[in-house]
Amino acid sequence: MLEVEILNMKLKNPVLLAAGVMGSTASSLNWAARNGVGGVVTKSFSLEPNKGYPNPTTVEVQGGIINAIGLSNPGVEAFKVELGRIDEKVPTIASLYGSSPEEFSLVAKKIEDMVDALELNVSCPHAMTGCGASIGQDPDLTGEMVRAVKKTVNVPVTVKLTPNVTDIVEIALAAQEAGADGLTLINSLGPGMCIDLETARPILSNRFGGMSGPAIKPIALRCVYQAYEAVKIPIIGVGGIMDHKDAVEFLYAGACSIQVGTAVMYQGLEVFQRICNGLESFMRDKEFNRVDEMVGLAHQD
């Protein structure tokens, strides 16, 4: 009942682990896979190792968390070792980032044989200069990165977009035109910040970070809804999904599968089974036989 097909992958359910949350090592990815996810997305990684920002890198605020990890990762060669240790059989999407078309395609080429699909992170709001949202806020740059990767690899490619733009549709169309096979909407929102009352200083070492969790759900939902009306490629919805009701909203808005990040930090890995169970009983109740019957229903007149 919950099976979906997306980016040439058959998923047992539409609920994936979002990038960056527990996806840094094979053991955490295996652990997620054993806990009912339909698929996993890895932490974003790059050509060279990146230390990221010093602590503190995350802070809890009302409605979610703000993080400025700075895309820390051990680099693609070390990450390949982790990918090789994944022994649980769920589809794996590798998230990657870079600062130029050459860098994106080089990283993509190095790992395409080890994963089922790639997710291009052009949308991190706290990435070092030249990476992340500075690419995803520009339709031409977004298109360049996508085109370069698509020319290099054969696996399906989804592009993760930032909500921090004036017009999400413009960027979504640029990604589609450049050959993207899917879109992932959205990366964290912001940047935002939080100030310590005792020290009168910003809490995060980077001062600013990306907001995730329930507070960003209405914005993520709106991005999915608008993109669905403009593009033909499938959309993976992410942003503030805490339970099956949130998941249903994203499906109705036009997402054909969803990712869960911050909710794992709040609820543990049980959240995946909980969302799947809730989704299944919702579907029985409403007499849906397949997930795709729900996709885009919010667009009816």
Ligand X SMILES: Cc1cc2nc3c(=O)[nH]c(=O)nc-3n(C[C@H](O)[C@H](O)[C@H](O)COP(=O)(O)O)c2cc1C
Residue 261 binds ligand X, judged by CB under 6 A: yes
Query: Residue 40 or 288: which CB sits closer to ligand X?
Result: 40
**Known catalytic residue at 131:** no
Among 50, 99, 158, 262, binds ligand X (CB under 6 A): 262
In terms of DSSP bridges, do strands 157-161 and 182-185 run parallel, antiparallel, or are they unpaired?
parallel
Query: Residue 148 or 185: which CB sits closer to ligand X?
Result: 185
CA Rg value for the chain: 18
Stretch that binds ligand X, among 168-176, 209-217, 271-279, 292-300 (CB under 6 A): 209-217
Contact 127, 67 (CB under 8 A): no
Restricting to residues 135-194, which ones interact with ligand X according to CB under 6 A? Answer: 160, 187-188
Distance from C-alpha of 81 to C-alpha of 216, rounded to nearest angstrom: 34
Among residues 124, 131, 194, 256, which one is catalytic?
124
Q: Total number of residues binding ligand X (CB under 6 A)? A: 28
Query: Residue 11 or 21: which CB sits closer to ligand X?
Result: 21
Query: Residue 86 or 118: which CB sits closer to ligand X?
Result: 118
Residue 121 binds ligand X, judged by CB under 6 A: yes
The kind and range of the H/E element at 263 are helix 262-267
Contact 240, 220 (CB under 8 A): yes
Q: Pattern 60-89, binding to ligand X, x per CB under 6 A?
A: -----x-x-x-x------------------
Nearest-approach distance from CB 189 to ligand X, in angstroms = 8
Return phi, psi of residue 119, to 5°: -120, 120
Nearest-approach distance from CB 20 to ligand X, in angstroms = 2
Among 4, 11, 16, 18, binds ligand X (CB under 6 A): 18
Nearest-approach distance from CB 95 to ligand X, in angstroms = 5
Distance from C-alpha of 278 to C-alpha of 7, rounded to nearest angstrom: 25
Which are the contacts of 235, defined by CB distance < 8 A and separation ≥ 6?
182, 183, 184, 185, 224, 227, 228, 254, 255, 256
Q: In which order are the strands placed within the sheet that holds 209-212?
A: 58-61, 64-67, 209-212, 189-192
Contact 80, 106 (CB under 8 A): no
Distance from C-alpha of 264 to C-alpha of 249, rounded to nearest angstrom: 19
Query: Residue 43 or 150: which CB sits closer to ligand X?
Result: 43
**What does the block give as tokens for 183?**
């879109």
CA-closest candidate to residue 259, choices 108, 52, 144, 93: 93
Contact 167, 142 (CB under 8 A): no
Nearest-approach distance from CB 222 to ligand X, in angstroms = 14
Q: Pattern 213-252, binding to ligand X, x per CB under 6 A?
A: x--x---------------------xxxx-----------
Q: Which spans of this chain sit near ligand X (rule: CB under 6 A)?
A: 18-21, 43-44, 58, 65, 67, 69, 71, 95, 121, 124, 160, 187-188, 212-213, 216, 238-241, 260-263
User: Which residues are marked as active site?
Assistant: 124
